[in-house]
Chain A
Amino acid sequence: MSTETAVMPEADVPPAPEHQRLSAGRRRGRRARKDRAGYLFLLPWFIGMLFTVVPFFASLYLAFTDYNLLNPPKWIGLENFTAMFRDPVLVKSLKVTFVYTFVSVPLSLAAALGVAMILNKGIRALPVYRAVFYLPSLLGASVAVVLLWRYVFGLDGIVNALLGWFGAPAIAWTSDPDYALTTLIILHVWTFGSPMVIFLAGLRQIPVMYYEAAAVDGASRWRRFRSITLPLLSPIIFFNLIQSLIASFQTFTQGFVMNDGGGGPANSTLFYNLYLYQQGFNQFHMGYASAMAWTLLVIIAAFTALTFFSAKYWVNYDN
């Protein structure tokens, strides 16, 4: 149940007994043959790793250069990074990304956990409900749904019509800088289905007898949640949290499609990666964009590390 086991490679199977009976030379030959087979199977992966490892270091190098694709990269030291501090648009895009992440991730995880718990209470037609809640998470990143969102939240869209029934004034959801990001946060929460499925699978692994024993001891519903569900589910909450954080920091399509490749009203939906794209592929500031990419990598790594560090205070691996 713990995520820790996920990253631990399985221990080597003990060597076959005949190994001990072979001479050193035969053993080496056998070893080499095994290595060869292993490497052959991994051959595509090795080549693929070149497409990962080389660009990884290349982008680190480019981050310290001025490069526009036409002239060779020119080493400029830390200039890209100091320029980032003075770039108000970059600061804005960072702020947008942070607000988006730190509002939508907790909200969607809370929704996911809440619905998973209702579903786990033992309910008929579980597969139907699960399908209905899970489906949006497969569609949330598609252009069709983001386009749909533009019109659902449009001035004469159904959301404003709904508000109208309650006598509330219409809101310019997509063109008012105060609301534009909210529509995308709602879109994110709408896709709570995939963490929900993971929560649901985790809840099913908690033995019913724990709840029975607690109920016999007179534990209230809240107490059962606090003292049984939360601790036993914490590795899965942790996993979902890490996944959602990393994905959310990299949001791109939603912002791009929502505002035709721009940053929206007053750059209110200018996600960091969207600005990176504009810098790299509209302005061809490849060096600056690489510096931006590495900065985001460091930010993501820092938050991931922070989450991992905090894990020892709230994630329960006893099970």
Chain B
Amino acid sequence: MSTTLQSTKTRRSYDDALIERFGSSRRSRFTRHVALCLIGLFMMYPLLWLLSSSLKPNGLIFSDLALWPAEWSPSNYADGWTALEYDFGVYFTNSIVIVVLSIVGNLFSCSLAAYGFARLHFTGRKLFFALMLGTMMLPGHVLLIPQYILFAKLGWLNTYYPLLVPNFLATNAFYIFLMVQFMRQLPQELDDAARIDGCGPFRTFWSIILPLCRPAFATTAIFTFISVWNEFFGPLLYLTDPELYTVPLALRQFVDSEGQSQWGQMFAMSVLSLAPIIGFFIAGQKYLVKGIATTGLK
């Protein structure tokens, strides 16, 4: 990881070295900016169109192609909020509850497991670690049907348990792996010093290792947020009562409820459902980029 996380300073000098050697001509640099801007515009356009359509009256969405609405209809937001059986406040609350508990669960269980794998020595550690990495590659659909039957037998259908409990049981090997990679970089001397001072493994974990792992936790929290917020399949499978619906399930109801073509309202709620992800992305971009770069490079 350390090689990836070059400080801004070395990165800049790397850039400068490259610019000096290869990108020196002003014209080629200009061409590159133009190319990148075009690709970027192309990629952002659907999202900008979504935002603009959410502010247009229904009649104009498909006839007026300009991004800047000729006629504003901010009421899409107010109307969309209450368009479904329950108002979107219910769905947002549901989503937030699930996301927050999932983050807590992943941080708790994955950090424990990661500490065990990264810093403790016990019989069978290598075997278990290999098993853990194996589950990281295991396609989830293989477990789907027995898990569904199990949760049904436990009486957990139409509750949040199937979505939450696995997160408290470190079933997300990716986050364990991320934290293991991070903890391994911390000097072993820390643990030794703590032991000499009389700390047991739990105290060492809690007082020494955890506070140092904050960046890895931030990465885990943001990844969990984005994946759980977007999660569609689990809620679709386990939640049948509309009162329990998460935002993605609710959004889909806009098209389910026949083609009443309230596009403006649907787009308005789509914007609201994407806004938290974009917000977290902007706030936590650093951790996200580091996180996925780490998993790819190590």
Residues of A near any B CB (own CB < 8 A): 1, 3, 5-7, 9-10, 12-13, 31, 34-35, 37-39, 41-45, 47-49, 51-52, 54-56, 58-59, 62, 69, 115, 118-123, 126-127, 129-136, 138-139, 141-145, 147-152, 154, 156-158, 161, 190, 194, 197-198, 200-202, 204-205, 208, 211-212, 215, 236, 239-240, 246, 249-250, 252-253, 256-257, 260, 273, 276, 280-281, 286, 289-290, 293-294, 296-297, 300, 304
Q: Main SS of chain B's interface residues?
A: helix
Q: How far is the CA of A123 from the CA of B121 in the complex (A)?
A: 46
> Can you list 28 A-B contacts (CB < 8 A)?
A7-B130, A37-B202, A38-B116, A38-B120, A38-B123, A41-B112, A41-B201, A45-B170, A48-B169, A49-B135, A58-B149, A121-B19, A142-B229, A143-B249, A144-B248, A147-B255, A158-B45, A158-B49, A197-B289, A204-B6, A208-B21, A211-B21, A236-B296, A236-B297, A246-B139, A250-B140, A286-B149, A297-B141
Determine the chain B residues whose CB is within 8 A of the CB of A45 once the complex forms: 109, 112-113, 116, 128, 132, 169-170, 176
Which residues between 3 and 26 of chain B lie within 8 Å of chain A, taking CB atoms?
3-4, 6, 11, 14-19, 21-23
Do residues B14 and A34 form an inter-chain contact, with CB atoms below 8 A? no
- Is B298's CB within 8 Å of the partner chain A? yes
Q: Main SS of chain A's interface residues?
A: helix
Q: How far is the CA of A57 from the CA of B125 in the complex (A)?
A: 23
Do residues B21 and A131 form an inter-chain contact, with CB atoms below 8 A? no
Do residues A152 and B46 form an inter-chain contact, with CB atoms below 8 A? yes
Do residues B142 and A59 form an inter-chain contact, with CB atoms below 8 A? yes
Q: How far is the CA of A280 from the CA of B62 in the complex (A)?
A: 38
Residues of B near any A CB (own CB < 8 A): 3-4, 6, 11, 14-19, 21-23, 29, 32-33, 35-36, 39-40, 43-47, 49-50, 53, 62-63, 65, 108-109, 112-113, 115-117, 120-123, 125-126, 128-133, 135, 137-150, 152, 166, 168-171, 176, 184, 188, 200-202, 205, 226, 229-230, 232-233, 236-237, 248-249, 251-252, 254-256, 263, 266-267, 269-271, 273-274, 277-278, 281-282, 285, 288-289, 292-293, 295-298
Do residues B142 and A297 form an inter-chain contact, with CB atoms below 8 A? yes
Determine the chain A residues whose CB is within 8 A of the CB of B47 once the complex forms: 136, 139, 148
Q: How far is the CA of A123 from the CA of B297 in the complex (A)?
A: 22
Counted as pairs of residues, one from A and one from B, with CB atoms less than 8 Å apart, the total is 298
A260 — nearest CB in chain B belongs to which residue? B255
- A241: min CB distance to chain B, Å: 11
Additional A-B contact list (13), CB under 8 Å, known A41-B115, A138-B226: A6-B298, A44-B112, A62-B145, A121-B19, A131-B281, A131-B285, A135-B281, A144-B50, A150-B255, A201-B296, A215-B22, A253-B233, A273-B141
Determine the chain A residues whose CB is within 8 A of the CB of B263 once the complex forms: 151
Determine the chain A residues whose CB is within 8 A of the CB of B168 once the complex forms: 44
User: If A246-B139, A249-B139 touch, does A148 touch B14 (CB 8 Å cutoff)?
Assistant: no
| Most chain B CB neighbours (cut-off 10 Å) among A49, A115, A286 | A49
User: If A35-B122, A143-B251, A202-B296 touch, does A51 touch B147 (CB 8 Å cutoff)?
Assistant: yes
Determine the chain A residues whose CB is within 8 A of the CB of B269 once the complex forms: 144
